[in-house]
């Protein structure tokens, strides 16, 4: 039986050539984001963006919640996969980078489906529970400050419907999760979340060794 293969640069290029379906709007937004401080590290890859869009389509989602907007690349990928009457709510602590994404949302013709919430994510999610009630989203994508992940996950479990999907980014955290010397708050928080998820009876999970680690958790 085959085991996990090493992803060489040549094989990575092959996978991209064989499966990535890109377009000028997405490519330009990625390039603009890459020029920002820590832009390459903070934005999702083109391949991950394509996966997010596919997952939105596969789940039949009409309502998506995103925790962590940045320049709105993942926002755009997922929103374009929604039906015409679909809804994306994306949350961030600041509007600093949002104007970049908003331009591309308009160019892609999906800005009318996107609602932005600015503020502390935990407070925003609590507000959505009060405003919309439990199980009001089909899919939740978490890609924000790592020390807040456990709280965001718990709130997402309330907000997502039964059978809905929670997607958590960076769950391998640059490979630091397996380094005993890595005891910074972000790495410790990701390790703790991964441990909690592995034994959580409320969800079915898998951790994909793609990009920086992507965990899929389907609410039972």
pLDDT in tens, 25-84: 999 999 999 999 888 888 899 999 999 999 999 999 999 999 999 999 999 999 999 999
pLDDT given at position 2: 62
Q: What is the mean pLDDT of residues 168-191?
A: 97
Is residue 129 scored above 60 in pLDDT?
yes
pLDDT given at position 4: 79
What is the domain partition of the chain in residue ranges? 9-219
Is residue 1 scored above 60 in pLDDT?
no
Q: What is the mean pLDDT of residues 165-178?
A: 97
CATH architecture of 9-219: 3-Layer(aba) Sandwich (3.40)
Query: 6 pLDDT band (50/70/90 cuts)?
Result: confident
| Closest C-alpha to 62, from 138, 121, 8 | 138
Triad 22, 24, 27: Cα angle to 5°: 65
Side-chain-side CA neighbours of residue 85 (13 Å)? 0
The mean predicted confidence, pLDDT, of the chain is 95
Cα–Cα distance measured from residue 85 to residue 90, given in angstroms and rounded to the nearest whole number? 16
| Closest C-alpha to 47, from 61, 26, 25 | 26
Q: What is the mean pLDDT of residues 188-217?
A: 97
First to last CA, the chain: 30
Mean pLDDT is lowest, of 15-19, 104-108, 143-147, for: 15-19
Q: What percent of the chain has pLDDT over 70?
A: 99
Is residue 12 scored above 60 in pLDDT?
yes
Is residue 126 scored above 90 in pLDDT?
yes
pLDDT given at position 3: 74
Is residue 154 scored above 80 in pLDDT?
yes
**What six digits make up the tokens of 171?**
């769950």
């Amino acid at each position: 039986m085959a085991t996990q293969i090493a992803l060489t640069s040549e094989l990575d290029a092959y996978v991209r050539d064989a499966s990535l379906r890109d377009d000028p709007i997405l490519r330009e937004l990625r390039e603009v984001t890459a020029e920002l401080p820590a832009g390459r590290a903070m934005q999702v890859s083109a391949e991950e963006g394509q996966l997010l869009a596919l997952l939105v389509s596969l789940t039949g989602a009409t309502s998506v919640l995103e925790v962590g907007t940045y320049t709105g690349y993942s926002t755009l990928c997922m929103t374009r996969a929604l039906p015409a009457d679909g809804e994306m709510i994306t949350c961030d602590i600041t509007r600093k980078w949002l104007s970049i994404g908003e331009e591309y949302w308009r160019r892609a013709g999906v800005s009318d489906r996107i609602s932005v919430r600015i503020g502390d994510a935990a407070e925003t999610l609590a507000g959505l529970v009060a405003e919309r009630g439990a199980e009001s989203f089909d899919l939740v994508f978490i890609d924000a400050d790592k020390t807040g992940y456990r709280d965001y996950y718990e709130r997402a479990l309330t907000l997502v419907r039964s059978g809905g999907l929670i997607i958590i980014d960076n769950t391998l955290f640059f490979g630091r999760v397996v380094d005993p010397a890595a005891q910074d708050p972000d790495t410790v928080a990701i390790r703790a979340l991964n441990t909690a998820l592995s034994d959580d009876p409320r969800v079915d999970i898998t951790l994909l060794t793609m990009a920086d680690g992507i965990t899929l958790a389907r609410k039972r």
